[in-house]
Every structure is written in C-alpha cells, then in structure tokens.
Amino acid sequence: MDRAIVLGPVELRSPLIGASGTVGSGVDFVAVADPGRYGALVAKSVAPDAWRGNRPPRLAPAGLGMLNAIGIQNPGIEQWAAEVGPRLNGVGVPVWGSAVGYTPEDFARVAKGLEDAGVQAVEINLSCPNLDGHGLIALDPAASARVVEAVRRSVSLPVAAKLSPNASDIVAVARSVREAGADWVVLTNTVLGAAIDIETRRPRLSTVTGGYSGPPVKPIALWCVMEVAAALPGFPIVGCGGVTKGADVVEFLLAGASAVAVGTAHFAEPRVAGRIDRELARWCRKHGVARVFDLVGGVAKR
C-alpha cells in the first residue's frame, strides 16, 4: 500500500500526523514511539514569551473523552528555539511548529522564531479554547485572516491554520484564511465543554470550561471537514478529532481530508499510530485500495 499523500505544497510519507499538544516538542516523543509511522509531528504551541498556563486542576475525565485547560504552558519562542531547535534534525520525520499569541504581531514573531529554529511548517493555533480572558480568534473570519496574513509575511514556510468547531460558520473562517495565504487548514481543535464534581459541587477544571477532546468529537470534526471540502474544493485539509483507529482515518479521508491528525489517543496509547497504520493497511488491502491518497474526497452522494 502506498501511504504517501500530498498536502498543498507538502508531500508526506504517511497520512498520519501527530497533533499539537499530544506529542510534546516532537524531539522527546520519539523516545516512546516510532516516528516512521507519521508523515509529520506538530510540536506543542509556543508563544512569544513564557506562559505559565492555568492553575490546577487542568485535566478531567468526561465520559469517553477528556477535558483540558492547560492554558498552553510553554517556555516562549526564544528558549524553545534554543532547547529544541538543535535537535529537530534528529527526529527522522518533519516537525512542524505551532504558533500562538494574542495579536497578529505575536503570531508573526513566533512563526519567524520557529522557522529560524528549523521547523518545516508552521501551524497557527487560532482555536485554543482555554486562554482565560481572551476570545477565540478562530470564531472571527476577519481576525483569523489578519493573523494568517501577518504570519505569511514573516515566513517562507508552508502555513496552516488550526480552526475551531465552535465557529458559527466554519466555511467562512476557512475561506478567510485561505484568501489570507494559508496553505491548508486543520479541522478541528477541541470543543468547549465543562464538568462538575457532584460530591464537591465544584467544576472539575479551575477555569470552569475547557477543551473537550476524544472519540465523541469525531462526528463534529468530520462534519467540519465535509462542509469545508464541499464549499472550498481543492483547499487541503488535515482532519483532526477523535481518531483512535484505522477506520477513523478512512472516514476522514473520504470526507475530504488529505491527512489525519491523531491527538488525545496518544495519552492512553503512546504508540497508537502503529496500530492505526496497520488497521489502515488491512482495510486498504481488503477493499483493493493501492494508494491511500485515492480515498480523499471519495464519499458517495446519497
């Protein structure tokens, strides 16, 4: 089976991508999992300066999924580049950086720092739902476009925009970032959620609300992929949300994604990509699919 895929200007050896926030910086993740199973790893988001993140509790189980309100704790781009940059070439798979900030200038500064550090693409995190006191940029098409434009001017690398399933019109946001220069979109990030400890009657997260992820969000992410793929044909998509098995990858590819990010599943099964890859290969053999990329957008009409 030929696993190679094309994602805009990028060619990858596998459709599987390690989602930001679940594979560390990428360089440390390879100590526990085979990087050869992935087309790329996306490092945890980095800000212009060090962020302490939210106070605990920052994680909580919620049914079949999980809630997180980490608050993107990170050391800032200068320290990240100094510590991680020299090790990127030893990963054995492309490492993409993830930029976060409060203003377009913030994002542009981080993106440039990531490029200088040696990442091979920049993912713009427009959609983290647990930054206290700051709204989601990805809910606003115009604001999202301004960030993408600033990043596009600051780097020569491929640029992706990670969007939010909480947007009232995901197609409008995707269209705005495409016109602003994004090479592809990541659909999607976590869904806003909350949980309460009924014994203490207190919210399970210090921030009350956080990002909900895991298998239950897959239908939401899949719907976003199908909407954008139908409205913006030819615009590359990375599907992300609730992927735990090979069949999930097939489903996202048929919906119109060119690649599929694995996220929360890493916390329960760090080597999950190996199993997913084997399941994907078995499905393709059973159904006579020689090239994974031939599945993209293959959903039948009703």
Query: Which of 231, 271, 228 lies closest to 252, judged by CA?
Result: 228
Distance in angstroms (rounded) separating the CA atoms of residues 182 and 128: 18
Catalytic residue among 128, 224, 240, 284: 128
Annotation marks residue 284 as catalytic = no
Coil/strand/helix, residue 82: helix
Q: Phi and psi (nearest 5°) for 211?
A: -100, 125
Query: Which of 120, 164, 126, 122 lies closest to 145, judged by CA?
Result: 126
CB under 8 Å, gap of 24 or more: what pairs does 230-233 form? 230/256, 231/171, 231/174, 231/175, 232/171, 232/174, 232/175, 232/178
Handedness of CA 243, 249, 254, 259 (dihedral sign): positive
Q: Using N-to-C axis directions, what is the helix angle for 218-231 and 170-180, rounded to 10°?
A: 60
CA distances from 299 to 252, 255, 264 (A): 10, 6, 26
Catalytic residue IDs: 128
